[in-house]
Structure 1
Amino acid sequence: MIDTITCQRCGTARPSTGVHRCPGPADPAAALGLGGAAVVALEALRTVGSPVVVGGTVRDALLRESGRTVPATAVPDVDIEVYGTDLDAVSAALRAVGAVVVRAGVRFEVLKVVLDGTHLDVATVASPGGDAPFTAAASRRDVTVDAVAWDPVTNEYVDAFGGIDDAVVGVLRHTSERFGDDPLRVLRAVQLVARFGLEVDDGTVALARTLVDRFGEVAHERVWPEIRKTALGDHVSAALEVLHDTGWDVHLPELAALRDVPQDPHWHPEGPVHVHAGLAGDAAARACTEDGVRGDDRVVIVLAAVLHDLGKAGSGTQVSSEEGTPRIRSLGHEVSGAVAARELLRRLGAPRAVVDRVVPLVREHMVVHSAGGAPPSVAATRRLFRRLGGTLSAAEAWARVCEADSRGRGPASGPSAAREWFAVMLRDVSTRPRAGLLTGRDLLDAGLTPGPRFREVLAAATEAEDDGVFTDLGGARDWLRDWLRAHLADGAQRDG
């Protein structure tokens, strides 16, 4: 007797094993986000075989239907499998409707297709249509929610491994033992948790643990895209917990070292540093989502929020006792944390542009606390502005990271004064003629020759401008004349 279960989506009885066909959406093109070009491609492919849409397009439609938020992607790709044909026939059919087609892949050859700006990945399954070849093809996919297909002919979802039910209840579960064919799939599970708020099945976690030592098999350039996608999700702390539960945080040792590092309970009642890192990441991600911050701007802010306290690991946190009361401090952790963040991101393959934006945010996240809250002077905000890179986008990212730091403290969460600092910077930049009034040309006109003295004078000029000693070009040149007179005189006295 074959056991039956009830489909969580359509409510019909189905065999507990085998392929289930579930009625498709009322408006398939809208539900799956299929534009006109994808529809044209599917029609062309029907002339040479039996196409089905697979992968993220179908997964996202099912997750949206179950009430989950699906982050928008800039250029959504459409994955298609065509049964009962070969790549040559598929390529010819697609070129006949105006598509640009390129073969790619070594072990599993696919077609990279562009049609009217729509990107498609098309693979073939040589066997004719039917349950057996579909089940075999689906078993090669990593998790069940990614193994569901949509049949454009019958408008049905086709499911061999319970992916529809898993999408409804929000579970990530490996499709088969072939999950281990590619160890990168563990990091892919982490980013799917971050983006969709799913829970990972215990069996999948256990399988992922067996793959820890195979991280070295993953090509370096494949790691960063998964880390980047993790930062695009709102469920950062949940993703970090999966990283830990699977044991894969061993490959991010700077982050793993935050585990159970204590914090002063007055300032951090949420608990140890790893808890704070996750909550700060969540706060940064939510704020970016609410305010429409996307792309690398969001990635930089979320990663900086997660990594801002890396310097508290190991000797970065000092525990002492004063009159019998434990005291926990992390002096200078912002500086050592910036070094650790740079090393970690470089190893993960982050682009230099991203690394160079994250590091100053980590290094400067304690400025507000050190100053006691509101900016003490315009000069202080100017100096910070320059240290952050001298752009309003960097200053705003810094304010967002500081806000996430303050919002990621459990019962002690609250707003950060960093917004006040940023408001001062914004007003200052909009009212000052320009930053760096004094230039190398002014130094040449004053009779200096290029060399080390140039850097010394320009650094002193920047500090003086930040302190408000001069506010226009005339004042800058007067300051230069006085500075040179004083310093050249001092040099002459020393030489004498």
Structure 2
Amino acid sequence: MVELLKLAPTADELAGRFAAAGHRLYLVGGSVRDALLGRAGSGGDLDFTTDARPEQVQKILRGWADRQWDTGIAFGTIGAVRRGQTVEITTFRADRYDRESRNPEVAFGDTVESDLLRRDFTVNAMAVQLPERKFVDPHDGLAALAARVLDTPAAPEDSFADDPLRMLRAARFVSQLGFSVAPRVRAAMTAMAPEITRITAERVQAELNKLITGAHPRAGIELLVDTGLADHVLPEVPAMRLATDEHMQHKDVYTHSLVVMEQAISREEPGRPDLVLRMAALLHDIGKPKTRKLEKDGRVSFHHHEVVGAKMTRARLRALRYSKATIDEVSRLVYLHLRFHGYGTGEWTDSAVRRYVTDAGPLLDRLHKLVRSDCTTRNRRRASALQRSYDSLEERIAALRAQEELDAIRPDLDGNEIMRILGIPPGPLVGKAYKHMLALRMERGPISHEEAETELRTWYAAQPPH
């Protein structure tokens, strides 16, 4: 705590002002938890709780804060900035919930103990009284922190009934902090999993993003699946447990997908978690259960699962209110993740390589990482062969890129030139001609302007009368 407060001199300044006004002030929340975990330098906002009412807080901050706002005043929260440090100060709360939504009936409390009782987990229910710097821990949060266990201050059934989003937060903290959940918390999550449907898609998405970009996303996802929460927020993931992969491996598609995600993470730039890559790795095989077919020779096939999976990915991410850009990128990677396997032993033509690069577009680097991560076979010879084959493809891409500027492939004639050469006005025929010239560019690579014009005229002569 001392180290934390050294890094946050605003806390002592603020405490002095509250004490002078006759009010108590406590530092609470994630900053206390992180300081005890040795992460005091990780930055972030500082959260405080106080017996002062919001109007009194505003008066205390006046003349001290560089800026303050009251967007959360209905919930007793006033925000402010002092020398670049953001603080949020909330009056003691003793809320009640209608247990139909997650909206509390806001009620102010009189003690820090009652305020800490309403918090999500005991590791977040510790406080430091200021300026005395007295540690307050009525729910043994420090012991839970030492054991790296998530437990609730109140009975978990009551906590989750008040706010079902806390169940997703548990999985998120498992991912971010590497904690486990207490047996009674796991039992309550399992029994109350359907309650998560009370939460809006936007809130669910925000927690999933933090979970997937955490340090241990596999553990968080496994908790969601094992407790049944995933059945309501990402049902396609637990559904993969029903499918055996096409190589008749002992692992199912679900486990395979978790391994692929871990391997994709290992290929990220350090300290820069890639939500799109991780999500694509997790979902790349979700089309397999729907395309599963038992062949005559006893093997299992999943023909066109990448096409089905891309459609399923798009539908799920749309339901979770992801941005159009994220939906397009993740579903595109799912759609393309099998394309490489047509490369075989290197028989692709230059045209096929150009199409691979063009279809991937700005996702090419992520596609490289996803495809390489998708190799989870224990057969070292087969794994080495696949990696060599992909090495060969990347080398050919590099060679063609050097020759042809692959990242910006365009037809040798643009729309204006097509209209000028053929003497036609804007319309569908111009688009049709453009597509023909683009296909020609893919097939043959760059050609001279004279050759391109000849090819265009030949194509146009073969078209039906207009």
Superposed displacement of residue 460, structure 1: 2.2
> Hey, what's the Cα distance between the residues in 2 that align with 1:51 and 1:430?
63
> Hey, what's the Cα distance between the residues in 1 that align with 2:439 and 2:16?
67
2:173 equivalent to 1:192 = yes
2:446 equivalent to 1:466 = no
1:310 alignment partner, SS class: coil
**1:258 aligned residue (240, 249, 253):** 240
| Residues 158-212 of structure 1: per-residue CA shift (max 9 Å, x gap) | 2121221222221111221342211111111111111122111121111123332
Contact persistence 2:437–2:456 (CA under 8 A):
no
1:370-409 maps to which residues of 2 (within 5 A)?
A: 370-372=342-344, 376-388=348-360, 390-391=361-362, 394-406=363-375, 408=376
Superposed displacement of residue 427, structure 1: 5.3
Superposed displacement of residue 52, structure 1: 1.9
Label 1:382 to 1:109 Cα distance change in 2 as closer, same or farther (>3 A). farther
> Hey, what's the Cα distance between the residues in 1 that align with 2:391 and 2:133?
51
Contact persistence 2:92–2:110 (CA under 8 A):
no
The residue identity in structure 2 corresponding to 1:165 is A
**1:345 aligned residue (317, 329, 348):** 317
**1:301 aligned residue (267, 277, 285):** 277
| Residues 204-253 of structure 1: per-residue CA shift (max 9 Å, x gap) | 11112333232232123211110110121132221121112221111122
> Hey, what's the Cα distance between the residues in 2 that align with 1:253 and 1:60?
33
Counterpart residue number, 1:486? 458
The residue identity in structure 2 corresponding to 1:272 is D
Task: Name whichever of 257-266 and 138-147 sits farther off.
Answer: 257-266
Counterpart residue number, 2:432? 456
Contact persistence 1:234–1:286 (CA under 8 A):
no
2:294 equivalent to 1:319 = yes
Contact persistence 1:396–1:422 (CA under 8 A):
no
**2:29 aligned residue (55, 63, 72):** 55
Contact persistence 2:93–2:114 (CA under 8 A):
no
Superposed displacement of residue 334, structure 1: 0.7
**1:220 aligned residue (186, 201, 208):** 201
Structure 1 portions without partners, runs of 5+: 1-23
The residue identity in structure 2 corresponding to 1:108 is F
1:227-306 maps to which residues of 2 (within 5 A)?
A: 227-251=208-232, 252-265=234-247, 268-269=249-250, 271-288=251-268, 291-294=270-273, 298-306=274-282
| Residues 82-128 of structure 1: per-residue CA shift (max 9 Å, x gap) | 2x32212222222321332222347632113233333322102289x
The residue identity in structure 2 corresponding to 1:361 is L
Counterpart residue number, 1:174? 152
Superposed displacement of residue 153, structure 1: 2.8
Q: Give the TM-score normalised by structure 1.
A: 0.80
> How much identity, in percent, do the aligned residues show?
25
The residue identity in structure 2 corresponding to 1:57 is S
The residue identity in structure 2 corresponding to 1:445 is R
> Hey, what's the Cα distance between the residues in 1 that align with 2:150 and 2:111?
23
Contact persistence 1:191–1:229 (CA under 8 A):
yes
Contact persistence 1:365–1:402 (CA under 8 A):
yes
Label 1:36 to 1:411 Cα distance change in 2 as closer, same or farther (>3 A). farther
1:151 alignment partner, SS class: strand
Cα RMSD (Å) of the superposition? 3.0
> Hey, what's the Cα distance between the residues in 1 that align with 2:36 and 2:402?
48
Superposed displacement of residue 464, structure 1: 2.3
Superposed displacement of residue 495, structure 1: 5.1
The residue identity in structure 2 corresponding to 1:257 is A
Superposed displacement of residue 449, structure 1: 2.2
Label 1:258 to 1:495 Cα distance change in 2 as closer, same or farther (>3 A). same
Superposed displacement of residue 442, structure 1: 1.6
Counterpart residue number, 2:4? 28
Contact persistence 2:165–2:204 (CA under 8 A):
yes
Superposed displacement of residue 383, structure 1: 0.9
2:94 equivalent to 1:109 = no
Label 1:157 to 1:305 Cα distance change in 2 as closer, same or farther (>3 A). farther
> Hey, what's the Cα distance between the residues in 2 that align with 1:241 and 1:351?
25
> Hey, what's the Cα distance between the residues in 1 that align with 2:45 and 2:72?
17
1:36-47 maps to which residues of 2 (within 5 A)?
A: 36-37=9-10, 40-47=13-20
> Hey, what's the Cα distance between the residues in 1 that align with 2:391 and 2:68?
50
Superposed displacement of residue 265, structure 1: 4.4
> Hey, what's the Cα distance between the residues in 2 that align with 1:424 and 1:456?
30
Counterpart residue number, 1:438? 413
2:25 alignment partner, SS class: strand
Number of residue-to-residue matches in the alignment: 439
Superposed displacement of residue 277, structure 1: 1.5
1:385 alignment partner, SS class: helix
> Hey, what's the Cα distance between the residues in 1 that align with 2:271 and 2:32?
25
> Hey, what's the Cα distance between the residues in 2 that align with 1:420 and 1:46?
69
Contact persistence 2:263–2:373 (CA under 8 A):
yes
- Where do 4+ consecutive residues of structure 1 move more than 6 Å? 410-415
2:267 alignment partner, SS class: helix
Contact persistence 2:404–2:446 (CA under 8 A):
no
| Residues 432-485 of structure 1: per-residue CA shift (max 9 Å, x gap) | 3542143212212212322222222222222222234425xxx1x334322232
> Hey, what's the Cα distance between the residues in 1 that align with 2:219 and 2:295?
32
Task: Name whichever of 334-343 and 147-156 sits farther off.
Answer: 147-156
> Hey, what's the Cα distance between the residues in 1 that align with 2:345 and 2:34?
43
Label 1:488 to 1:118 Cα distance change in 2 as closer, same or farther (>3 A). same
Q: Give the TM-score normalised by structure 2.
A: 0.85
Superposed displacement of residue 371, structure 1: 1.4
Contact persistence 2:33–2:124 (CA under 8 A):
yes
> Hey, what's the Cα distance between the residues in 1 that align with 2:132 and 2:247?
60
Task: Name whichever of 334-343 and 150-159 sits farther off.
Answer: 150-159
Superposed displacement of residue 410, structure 1: 6.2
Superposed displacement of residue 311, structure 1: 0.6
Contact persistence 1:205–1:245 (CA under 8 A):
no
2:175 equivalent to 1:201 = no
2:133 equivalent to 1:164 = no
**1:147 aligned residue (125, 137, 157):** 125
2:79 alignment partner, SS class: strand
Contact persistence 1:279–1:409 (CA under 8 A):
no
> Hey, what's the Cα distance between the residues in 1 that align with 2:54 and 2:264?
45
| Residues 241-285 of structure 1: per-residue CA shift (max 9 Å, x gap) | 11122211111222221123111346x45x001111212222223
Structure 2 portions without partners, runs of 5+: 95-108
